[in-house]
Each structure stands twice: as C-alpha cells, then as structure tokens.
C-alpha cells in the first residue's frame, strides 16, 4: 500500500483524480490513516455535507495479506450525525481487495454541481470514473445485482442505498461479503450521507491478476499467524461462543445482568429476551437450512455471522447481530425474530445504521407513533424511510432529531449518536466510553462489557464506579490501535486474556513490516489516533461538557438494580489524561 488515490469530485469539467505517494502515512492503515488525514485536511467547522468535508477510505495495516481476521475497512470524515470526527468500519471483501490494489487510502473530496451520479471502478490497470444515472435511488441489493451484471462476480462492491443518496444522517456504506451480498456496513455516524454528498453511488474494486501482499519475512509471518489463530480458537469467546451463536449470544447474558435496555431504556430486562436470544436464533437458522456460523470476509476464523432464512428456506438477511436484535427487538418490545430479520434486511437495503434506526423507532414509539411490541408498525416506519417521505426523512436522520421533532424528553444519544445495546446505569464502564468517545455513543470505542460483564481481561464490578475510567481509557487506546491494523475488534477477547496471543499479533506486524514493535508502541499508536481525533473535535467546538450522558441516566434509576449512572464529571474528565 504505497499510494493514495485522491479524487476531486467537484473539479471543473468533472471529477479529477491524482495518485500520490503514501508519504507520512507509510506503515499505517485503517483508523490511523483516516483520522490523521481528516484531522489534517478537513476544516473542523466545515459542513459535513459540503465540499470541504472529505471521505477517506482505508484498509488496515495487514489487510490484503494472508493473515487471519485482517479484513476490516475504515471510512473517515466529519460526521453529519455528530459533528465530530468519525471512523466507521466494516468487514466484507473491500479492505482485502483495496489493499492488494496497492492503495493506502482513497480520498473523495469536493462536491459536484448538478445531479449526475458517479461510479468508480478500480483495477490493476487504473481508475475509471463514469456517470451512471441508471443507478439513481437503487437500494443496495438491487444495486449490487445490477453492477454484477456489468462487472461480474470477482470485484468487491462498496455502495450506498437510497438513504445515502438522500443524505440522511443515519446513512451507512455497504460492503459486499464473500457471497457478494451488501451485508457488511460502515454503519455509524452518517458516513453514507457524506458519500452521497459527493454523488458517488458505488466503488467497484477488482484485484484480478494480483497476489496477496507479501510480508518482509514470510516464514515468520506464517508462524505468527498460526499461533495467533490457535489463540483465537482456544479462547471461550472467540473459539466457542461467537462461532456457535454469533454476537447475539449476548442477549441472554445482558438480560440476566439487568443491563439490556428495553422499551427505549425504561428497564434493564426484557421479559421475552430468550425468544430472540442467540441460542434461539441459531436453532431457527439451522432448522430452516441457513447457518449459525459464517465469515463476513475470507480469512475470518471466528465466523460470528450466519445466514437467516424464512420459514420456506429462502434467504432473508445475514444473521442479525446482537446490537440489531436489541435495537429492533427488546428496545422496541418486539420478540419476533422474523420481524427483526426483516428489519435488518430493510436497513441493509436502504443503507441505514441498524443501531441508529432501531433506537429511532424506539423513540418514535415513545412519541406515540406506534405501540411498543408492534412489529408491523416498526416495519411501516422503516418503509417510510425507504420511500423518502417527510416522516421517513425525519426518522432516517436518527434518534436525536426524531426526539426533537416529536417532543420526546428522554432520547438516548451522546453527541447526536444513539446509545447501543448496553445500559450505562448497571454497567458503569460502558457509560464512560459512551460519554467520552471521540465519535459519539459507541460501544466498540472502548468495549467495557468485556471486563464489566464477561470478565475478560480482569474483573471490574459493573455496578461500582471504581476502576471504570481507567478501564475505558485503556480500552479506547487499544481499540484505536486495533482499528488501524485491519483486524476484527473481536480479537481483543483473546489478546486481553492470552499474553502469547497478543505477542503473536505483534510478531505478525513485525514480520510483515520488518519492524520491532512492542506493546508500548501499540499503546503509542492508539494514543496518537485518539489525540488527533480529540484535537479535531476541540477545534470543532467540543468541550468536556459534551463528554456526558443524557441527564436522565443520572436521575432515573433502572430496574432491576435501581441505580443511576454515578461516575462523577471530575472523573470523566480524566479519561484522556495519560
């Protein structure tokens, strides 16, 4: 990955592209590349949907190699949902292919005038940008099918649905999986709206004729990768729980812990949680001829995804993930897996973040637009988003805007982004992460659930405030580094518990690049990324007062533990003091 592709979509006479050396970003990837470029090149006060914003797409440091778990793609920009810097990442095939094509990043900048819609095709022979207005308002599934008819089954496809074209603030960017289904999404923060503002409907990546990226020391790389995979397979989470039941294995766990937000965060227990649990979902998938185990990209050894079929055995969607099952399920009082799967497909097809969309429906139910538990009504509301009606545009812009429009007092967002599937009152550590993350409420930014609930990497009591700031800080640093490697974040379970697996990861990086990185260097990378993100946000006007949860989390106790979020503001302000 020795070059950067820069495309000025607003250039006079049509889009203009240049290729430049990777320069100061040599040896970096993923979130490190996107956040450092956005911090350096995007004015912090730029309108997120204007010409000054840039969409940066980057594979990870190890993407495109033979290494396991290296297929995450990062997309960065100024978020139209939060106003902060944003990095959103996804699996699928795109990162591996883009890395093999030799690009450390694609930078989309400027904004074209007029209504022309563009597609970008990249292969070993170069880049072709063309107008294709036949793609207008196609959603992701029919869009990919149409593109496959033209470009075939070899490429990876990166696309936006109608939500991205309409520049709705919850819009995602879809990446195709190994079966060329648009099921893997850079979901959070409205990155799809930014791609839509650039009038780019699809990026087609074809690495035909190219080989895997070659490590500096192939033999050491193979050996380190083997040890790394062994570590993942022997850990109970990455080797047993996730492959058997997918991420939705957490439903019963969080329900039992009293931290499963239900009815728009009114209680921590969903009485019908077992009906939509990972165990129930896996059993149904297998019974219908689908699969409870599936990799979102080649080289995945955890296999935490699956295939969900309907009662007749027809494909509906990929296995709905835990956050999706929560957001459209327990959060809305819905206990029907078929309804949840239908909503998951609709979200992927339209191109909206499933967390934001489900949280928004929960807020809409609180506003009286539908009754909690009414699956048919939830489907109708998402259909409004697909149609682009005035109501659909409101809902498609997320929970905060929907709450404001309909006068809902308690809206679960931080910096404009919906809080995911873990209530911060009985799980104090995740509350610290939600509040202080550089990117709005985001469980993946510092997954305190690992230590608070699953007891991975130690044991910090989720109901107490002691140790939560340090836990969140350490996890946010580690996550920023992992997001830069191209590795799936789920490797954290194994590397937190197994020093030898963490060493194997270091050995992979060192064998690939010919470096001598230590654990301290990984920490330094994470701090560098977070510092750049914090710098951007500060210049955009964000202060310590924005690093807080909505007030009702401090004042309204939640059953069954009947406690509030109680980490003090003074403690919260210490998260980034390293």
Q: Is 563 helix (H, G, I), strand (E, B) or coil?
A: strand
CB–CB of 22/5 below 8 Å? no
- The fraction of the chain above a pLDDT of 70, given in percent, is 100
Residues 447-463 have pLDDT tens digits of: 999 999 999 999 999 99
pLDDT value at residue 90: 96
Q: What's the whole-number average pLDDT of the chain?
A: 96
Helix, strand, coil shares of the chain, percent, nearest 5, are 45, 15, 40
What is the radius of gyration, based on Cα positions, of the chain? Answer: 22
pLDDT value at residue 297: 85
Residues 428-442 have pLDDT tens digits of: 999 999 999 999 999
- The fraction of the chain above a pLDDT of 90, given in percent, is 97
**Residue 298 confidence class, pLDDT cut points 50, 70, 90:** confident
Closest CA to 400 of 383, 420, 384, 417: 417
How large is the average pLDDT for residues 274-294?
Answer: 94
pLDDT value at residue 63: 96
Neighbours of 264 (CB within 10 A): 24
pTM, whole model, 2 decimals?
0.96
pLDDT value at residue 249: 92
How large is the average pLDDT for residues 106-114?
Answer: 96
Residues 187-236 have pLDDT tens digits of: 999 999 999 999 999 999 999 999 999 999 999 999 999 999 999 999 99
- Cα distances from 302 to residues 184, 242, 275, 298, 486, in angstroms, run 16, 7, 24, 11, 15
Tokens of 184: 């893997």
How large is the average pLDDT for residues 535-539?
Answer: 98
Residues 82-102 have pLDDT tens digits of: 999 999 999 999 999 999 999
pLDDT value at residue 1: 82
pLDDT value at residue 219: 96
Residues 340-372 have pLDDT tens digits of: 999 999 999 999 999 999 999 999 999 999 999
pLDDT value at residue 299: 85
| Domains along the sequence of the chain with CATH | 3-205 (3.60.9.10), 216-245+424-578 (1.10.599.10), 247-422 (1.10.569.10)
Question: Which H or E element spans position 30?
Answer: helix 30-41
């Amino acid at each position: 990955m020795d070059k950067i592709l820069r495309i000025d979509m607003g250039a006079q006479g049509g889009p203009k592209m240049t290729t430049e050396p990777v320069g100061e970003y040599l040896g970096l990837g993923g979130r490190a590349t996107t956040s450092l470029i956005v911090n350096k090149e995007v004015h912090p006060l730029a309108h997120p949907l204007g010409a000054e914003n840039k969409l940066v797409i980057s594979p990870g440091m190890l993407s495109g190699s033979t290494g396991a778990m290296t297929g995450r793609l990062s997309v960065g920009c100024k978020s139209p949902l939060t106003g902060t810097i944003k990095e959103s990442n996804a699996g699928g095939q795109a990162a591996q292919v883009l890395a093999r094509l030799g690009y450390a990043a694609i930078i989309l900048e400027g904004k074209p005038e007029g209504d022309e819609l563009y597609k970008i095709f990249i292969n070993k022979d170069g880049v072709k940008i063309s107008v294709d207005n036949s793609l207008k308002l196609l959603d992701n599934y029919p869009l990919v099918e149409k593109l496959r008819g033209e470009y075939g089954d070899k490429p990876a496809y990166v696309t936006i649905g109608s939500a991205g074209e309409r520049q709705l603030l919850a819009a995602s960017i879809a990446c195709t999986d190994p079966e060329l289904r648009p099921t893997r999404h850079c979901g959070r923060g409205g990155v799809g709206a930014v791609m839509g503002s650039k009038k780019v409907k699809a990026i087609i990546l074809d690495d035909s004729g190219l080989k895997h990226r070659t490590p500096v020391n192939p033999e050491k790389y193979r050996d380190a990768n083997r040890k790394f995979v062994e570590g993942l397979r022997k850990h109970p989470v990455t080797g047993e729980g996730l492959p058997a039941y997918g991420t939705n294995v957490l439903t019963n766990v969080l329900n039992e812990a009293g931290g499963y937000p239900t009815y728009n965060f009114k209680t921590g227990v969903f009485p019908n949680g077992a009906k939509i649990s990972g165990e129930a979902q896996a059993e149904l998938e297998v019974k219908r001829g689908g699969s409870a185990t599936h990799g979102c990209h080649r080289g995945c050894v955890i296999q935490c995804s699956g295939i969900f079929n309907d009662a007749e055995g027809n494909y509906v969607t990929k296995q709905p993930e835990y956050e999706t099952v929560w957001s459209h399920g327990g959060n809305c009082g819905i206990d029907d897996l078929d309804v949840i799967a239908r909503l998951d497909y609709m979200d992927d097809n339209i191109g909206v973040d499933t967390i934001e969309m489900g949280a928004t429906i929960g807020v809409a139910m609180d506003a009286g637009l539908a009754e909690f538990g009414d699956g048919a009504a939830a489907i109708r509301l998402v259909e409004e988003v697909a149609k682009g009606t005035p109501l659909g545009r409101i809902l498609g812009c997320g929970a905060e805007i929907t709450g404001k429009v309909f006068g809902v007092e308690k809206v679960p967002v931080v910096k404009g982004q919906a809080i995911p599937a873990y209530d911060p009152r009985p799980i104090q550590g995740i509350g610290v992460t939600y509040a202080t993350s550089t990117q709005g409420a985001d469980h993946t930014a510092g997954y305190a659930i690992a230590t608070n609930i699953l007891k991975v990497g130690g044991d910090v009591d989720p109901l107490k405030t002691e140790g939560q700031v340090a836990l969140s800080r350490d996890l946010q640093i580690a996550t920023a580094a992992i997001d830069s490697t191209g590795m799936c974040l789920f490797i954290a379970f194994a590397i937190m518990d197994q020093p030898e697996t963490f060493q194997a990861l270091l050995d992979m990086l060192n064998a690939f690049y010919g470096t001598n990185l230590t654990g301290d260097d990984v920490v330094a990378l994470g701090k560098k990324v977070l510092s750049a993100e914090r710098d951007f946000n500060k210049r955009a006007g964000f202060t310590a007062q924005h690093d807080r949860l909505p007030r009702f989390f401090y004042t309204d106790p939640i059953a069954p533990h009947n406690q509030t979020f109680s980490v003090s503001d003074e403690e919260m302000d210490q998260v980034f003091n390293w």
